[in-house]
Structure 1
Amino acid sequence: MHARDHLALQEIARTPFTTADDTARSLLELAGPDGPRLVGHLIARGREHAVDSLAAALDITPAPAAALTEALCAHAPRLTGAEAVAVVLAAAGVGVVFGYPGTSELALCDAVDRTPGMEMINGRGDKESAFMAAGAGLLSPGRGAAILHGARGLTNAGGALADARRNELGSVYVVGLPSTGSAAFLPPHGEENLLGAMGEFSDWWWQAPPVPEEPQAAGAAGAAFVARLREAVRKVRQAPHRPALIGVPQDVAERRWVPVAALEEPPLPPAARHPDAEVTMAAVGLLATAVRPVLLIDDYALRFDGVREGLDRVSRVLGAAVLQVRYRRGPMLFERLRAEEVTGFAGWLNPYSDAHGELLDRCDLLVTVEDRNIYPRVVGPLPGCRKIVLNTDAGKALKNGYLGPDDLVVDGDPGVALLRMAELLEINLPARPQTPWFGPEVAAESDVTPEPAEAKVVRARRDIAAAVAGALAALPRPVLVDDSQMFGGLLAESYDALPPGLRILGGHGGFVGSGIPLATGLAVSEPDRGVLCTLGDQAFTNSFQGLVAAVQQQARITYLVCNNGQSVSLLKQSAASGPDWFGAGQRPMLRNVPGLDYCAIARAIGVKATSVEVPVLAPSSEVSASVARLSEALESAVATIGPALVELRLPAEPEVWRGIWVTQGFETHRRVQA
């Protein structure tokens, strides 16, 4: 029970317990307008929880506590729709809610703001609030939620919803809509079929209908309302995680119509996604007979408990190779396996490597794990051998087109599947573990590239990555949220220098500018973690409004902005497509805004900011001195109480970034043997 509720009950404990009815009336009188919310808060985790809480708080035995619970439910006024939303979210463990209050959702924001166990934060924008709620769930889906304003706020947040869906970030979004009586007139904060249209950016949405006038019918509708709220919470916590939209008209939010008894049933936990036992056994049979198996994972897999252990055990018993998809343009920095975690890990799959090509050509069983983007443009052609797919969203693998009629799809939690497969393989193949069927040279092939950078450039890039790694190592339970594209690629080159245990969350949604609010939402919701957000200059320009909430909440977070003066990646892409595009970089279209000072903007908002230039092409002594200044700036930033920003100025010259961004896909890069 929350401390504020406990204090309220302690006030009652100071008077003699008479009858359950009298004590209930006294409690409700003392609580005043918060009475329905207080009773709802007690009952929302189930009647047994309420009885135990009352017995402990009032120092009474279970029997009178049960009678008091019954009396409270009988005498408490009905909750408003807004109070029901707040109570259900709090009971589900939502700790932080972001919103940018407008007319239609004021009641919702107020109800959350006065509900113990949750913090209502003004996100200073609907898009920002939507991103921050998704950020709160980066590591724990459903930990955060957002309240969005009707048509204009929800449509403004559309990009954030789409990004959260693509990145599989689960959060509940409650949308304040016009009153049911005025909705037909399309007031300024209304739009026809708003939830249906925006629901395309989520897997689940529901809009509350008008409240029935007859009390009994309203009570039944209240129970359905609570059930829908709880369904939304379960949805966002089930893999694959998605946003869920709940539309609440203003009159539905403000009217008292939801009986406290509607909250009595304890919320159901998310349904487990256990793979089908028969399909799992069939997959184990294929694995047991494979001679040269390869497991290829997408970074989505690393969000699941048990995946690392399962991969290690399967690779040990089979001598299998384990590779991970590497993204070579767009966002490029994602969490990656390490050799010390998985015995057979051979690094990122590199289509440029002949050794990796031969590995796939010889493979007689390919297992993909949480495939979202294993298609030829990203990984090159796949071998024609038998395949097994382990996936929580099998459709994402099926659309990539590499499965044949005899291949298997194991639908469910990949960690559970891998551990079960490992257990069965260890039982049935006791004579193994095997030595790896592939040579040690394969693991050294991840960085082979047809356009290597000069040695001095490589050294400078590694030194910069080492400075970032040092800052991360100083953080408690560090998390890196990347929104930097080219700079993320630079860090990915030196992945093994990053500290073990680091969580990395990159953006598959392609929304340049999501990093600041996502990282801020994470830092606010999990203050015991150290958060570093790496940004490109364009990402900062598109999202610095999100710094306002970081200052407001004094979130302990460091933003590292890589400013290389222009969109280096797009200039390289355009040069590959047409040498004269954008005047070979001479026209200003893809350059940064002249005179825009990132540090000055950050300081004006209240963020501590420092700028450091690393002249990568200068003499080595000058580069070393500037990297030392970068290390000092980062060390100071991560030690700051509250948000801090470091601007890292790097050259735009192509040779500085050579080999990081790939302009062409891998559809025809590698020959696959028949």
Structure 2
Amino acid sequence: MVRESLLVTRLKQLDADGLERSVGGGGKSNPLAGLFHRSDGSLDAIACAETLISVGPDAGREEIAEFLLRSLGEAGFAASRDQLSGIARHLADEIAGTAITLTGAESVALLLEHAGTYAVFAYAGTSELALCDSCDRAAALRLMNGRGDKESAFMAAGASLLQPRRGAAILHGARGLTNAAGAVADARRNEAGTVFIVGLPSTGSAAFLPPHGEAGLLPAIGTFTDWWWQAPAVPEDGQARARAAYTFVNKFTEALAASARLPARPAMFGIPQDVAERRWIPFDAVLSAPTGQPVQGVGKDAPAEAVDLLRQARRPLFLVDDYALRFPEFAPALDGLTRALGAPVLQLRYRRGPMLFERLRPEHVANFIGWYNQFSTAHAALLNECDLLVTVEDRNIYRRVVGDLPPCRKIALTGDGPKARKNGYLTEDDLLVEGDVTALLRSLTEGLKRGSDGRRWFADSTAKASCVTPEPAGELVEHMRTRVVDELARTLRGWDRPVLIDDSQMFGGLISERYDLLPPELRVFGGHGGFVGGGLACAVGLAVADPGCRVLCTLGDQGFTNAFQGLVAAVQEKARVLFVVCNNGESVSLKKQASASDPTWFGGGTRPYLTNPPTMDYTLVAEALGVPSQKVRIVCGPNEPAIDQTAEAMGKALAEAAQTDGPALVELLLPAEPEAWLGIWLTQGFEQQAPERN
């Protein structure tokens, strides 16, 4: 773990006034004082530990002094070498002469930065103040006030979407964690690899719960994670305390490893207030901790049986769930195998609830032919004709979502076997192979030992079948949809490393219909947990944790209503997020669902239960929180030029918003009439209806 550059950066950030205010009145003559001492003049254990990790734990005074002197020089301090040498030697004597003992909170901060965590989000309460302070002092961590526990949890999940454990959250136990329970569950459903650190009441308060906490809190909320642990009280016996210190450190390392293992999951680590604040963990315990690297997935080499099934198949077909796209280098690995087999690739499409997720592209996988469309006779024929169906990273390929699968042999390639088994399509004759799906695909390709592309058994024309629908919209509606997505795509194409986070339903469905208009390099994250209002905070977390990205967050009106508290942190952190709110005046999806279930519900749509509150103005709310905002109305007629005019206004608003140094918002006023949303949102699952193929 290299810390020299971090120390140099810290030194460069200090201004003259800051130096004069440093501990001991050292000012410019002692620029290291404020970095290595607390406000009471004592050494900062975190800064000392970071230094020893940088130069080596066995380093003596001379090595420490040389490290500090070199850092001062690189930071541009113009004093003579003799002057700087004196400063460095004095501090080196202090560090080398001190036996470093850490608090529980300081140990957590050091382990987080050692694991590569960058962004830590918190909405501090009494029990976690020590945790917040320690993370704030750590050189490699950036502590941010999420302005809410739920928001902090979502921000940590968002920060960890592109890179597991890039973000973490400190939550208050019990009220903060209970407030954030939905976010914890959503992070698990969306496989966001983050760590939730819960500051619990002191162990001495345990007998009096509540009001200081809730009995069984972590075991209860821990059901939403795959890993959790709660630290016990610090033992008073010296030997027992030493053993407990190593256990504490090792358990937190386990949490870090569990959260980064693909398929990623959140981990939860509970720390009572007294355990966090007490100085009881020897530096050696942190220094000797395991690396916290994720355990590699099992089954990296595909079994010979899977290779034999692929070799014997004449018409194999691959059906992919979007979770597979989280694995690094997945698309090239899938492309190599399906080219070798001449096999078509389809991707599961979600048709109600959240509907926009990352999708494969023909530019990346040559045999990819689009979303799987149960209403297409061409796609139905493909499934009927295939003699081997290979599902990849299945989470939701069950009958209600996908319809009937062919009776042929099947192989399920997955990082989470139970998720595939629960969907009920695998029989004793089928094969489930669990492990890193990228490695499995490469292993299968190598096992086939084919040097050239296999002959395709499917027609290229099947790619057009993804657009077939039993509920076609009119030409003007289709034109409006194309123009809206066109303008979004135009904005995204101008960004480096664009990311789209969707927290809408109907709007996301509209965009997914025209996914091919989006730029190929775009990363897309939807909400598998169906938590309306989580995407806004996720987008903020990702933007601040990875400043090299530019984030577009598409929101429904209800998603905005449930989430706008997160805009406070967005403004505070200057998060580079462009929020696009689809305001169609009401819950179009639920009105459509209600009408299909019973046309008399809510007075046949006349009562206002599912309409937006008439006094709510999304643009004014955002502006009041400091977010520059614009409002644009999109129409469906009376003709194409009228639609084009409003789309051009939308494009101009997006372009202006994209120039903002920080968050910006564009509200799109879209029609609520059912005709504008035909073909989007199914009111029945595929186990309830026979698809009308054409």
Paired position in structure 1 for 2:294: 270
The alignment yields a C-alpha RMSD, in angstroms, of: 2.5
Paired position in structure 2 for 1:19: none
**Contact 2:55 2:67 (8 Å CA) reproduced:** no
- Length-normalised TM-score, structure 2: 0.89
Corresponding position: 1:218 with 2:228: no
1:648 match: secondary structure: strand
Displacement, 1:42?
Answer: 4.1
Alpha carbons of 1:101 and 1:28: their partners in 2 closer, same or farther (altered >3 Å)?
A: closer
Match runs of 1:328-347 below 5 Å = 328-347=351-370
**Contact 1:44 1:91 (8 Å CA) reproduced:** no
Q: 1:387 aligns with which of 390, 406, 410?
A: 410
Moved more, 308-317 or 607-616: 308-317
Displacement, 1:595?
Answer: 1.8
Partners of 1:560 and 1:191 in 2: how far apart? 39
Corresponding position: 1:191 with 2:214: yes
**Contact 1:312 1:342 (8 Å CA) reproduced:** yes
1:182 match: secondary structure: helix
**Contact 2:315 2:457 (8 Å CA) reproduced:** yes
Q: 1:656 aligns with which of 659, 671, 676?
A: 676
**Contact 2:262 2:327 (8 Å CA) reproduced:** no
Paired position in structure 1 for 2:49: 40
Which digits, 9 at most, give the CA deviation of each residue in 1:324-349, with x for residues without a partner? 00011111111111112112111111
Alpha carbons of 1:42 and 1:345: their partners in 2 closer, same or farther (altered >3 Å)?
A: same
Q: 1:444 aligns with which of 464, 471, 485?
A: 464
Q: 1:488 aligns with which of 508, 519, 544?
A: 508
Corresponding position: 1:146 with 2:166: no
Alpha carbons of 1:128 and 1:30: their partners in 2 closer, same or farther (altered >3 Å)?
A: closer
Q: 1:466 aligns with which of 486, 496, 508?
A: 486
Which digits, 9 at most, give the CA deviation of each residue in 1:222-250, with x for residues without a partner? 11111111110000000121111111111
Match runs of 1:238-317 below 5 Å = 238-265=261-288, 266-277=290-301, 279-317=302-340
**Contact 1:95 1:525 (8 Å CA) reproduced:** yes
Paired position in structure 2 for 1:18: none
Paired position in structure 2 for 1:129: 152
**Contact 1:45 1:267 (8 Å CA) reproduced:** no
**Contact 1:297 1:371 (8 Å CA) reproduced:** yes
- Length-normalised TM-score, structure 1: 0.92
Partners of 2:545 and 2:643 in 1: how far apart? 38
**Contact 1:42 1:50 (8 Å CA) reproduced:** no
**Contact 2:476 2:639 (8 Å CA) reproduced:** no
Partners of 2:66 and 2:495 in 1: how far apart? 39
Q: Which consecutive aligned stretches of 4+ in structure 1 deviate over 6 angstroms post-superposition?
A: 7-10, 26-31, 48-53, 68-71
Corresponding position: 1:90 with 2:106: no
1:560 match: secondary structure: strand
Paired position in structure 1 for 2:22: none
Partners of 1:257 and 1:46 in 2: how far apart? 24
The one-letter amino acid of 2:686's match is F
2:164 match: secondary structure: coil
Alpha carbons of 1:8 and 1:499: their partners in 2 closer, same or farther (altered >3 Å)?
A: closer
Displacement, 1:186?
Answer: 1.0
Which digits, 9 at most, give the CA deviation of each residue in 1:33-82, with x for residues without a partner? 3432123334568957989995972589xxxxxxx999968832411111
Paired position in structure 1 for 2:128: 105
Which digits, 9 at most, give the CA deviation of each residue in 1:553-603, with x for residues without a partner? 011110000000000000001111001111121100000000211010000
**Contact 1:39 1:260 (8 Å CA) reproduced:** no
2:324 match: secondary structure: helix
Match runs of 1:420-569 below 5 Å = 420-425=443-448, 427=449, 429-430=450-451, 432-569=452-589
Paired position in structure 2 for 1:57: 67
Alpha carbons of 1:668 and 1:544: their partners in 2 closer, same or farther (altered >3 Å)?
A: closer
**Contact 1:312 1:343 (8 Å CA) reproduced:** yes
Partners of 1:364 and 1:562 in 2: how far apart? 43
Gaps of at least 5 residues in structure 1 are 11-25, 61-67
Paired position in structure 1 for 2:343: 320
**Contact 1:44 1:263 (8 Å CA) reproduced:** no
Gaps of at least 5 residues in structure 2 are 13-32, 71-90
**Contact 2:36 2:48 (8 Å CA) reproduced:** no
**Contact 2:375 2:691 (8 Å CA) reproduced:** no
2:582 match: secondary structure: strand
Displacement, 1:628?
Answer: 0.4
**Contact 2:4 2:54 (8 Å CA) reproduced:** no
Partners of 1:118 and 1:621 in 2: how far apart? 52
Partners of 1:220 and 1:46 in 2: how far apart? 27
Displacement, 1:187?
Answer: 4.5
Corresponding position: 1:574 with 2:563: no
**Contact 1:572 1:663 (8 Å CA) reproduced:** yes
2:303 match: secondary structure: helix
Moved more, 254-263 or 38-47: 38-47
Partners of 1:617 and 1:215 in 2: how far apart? 79
1:340 match: secondary structure: coil
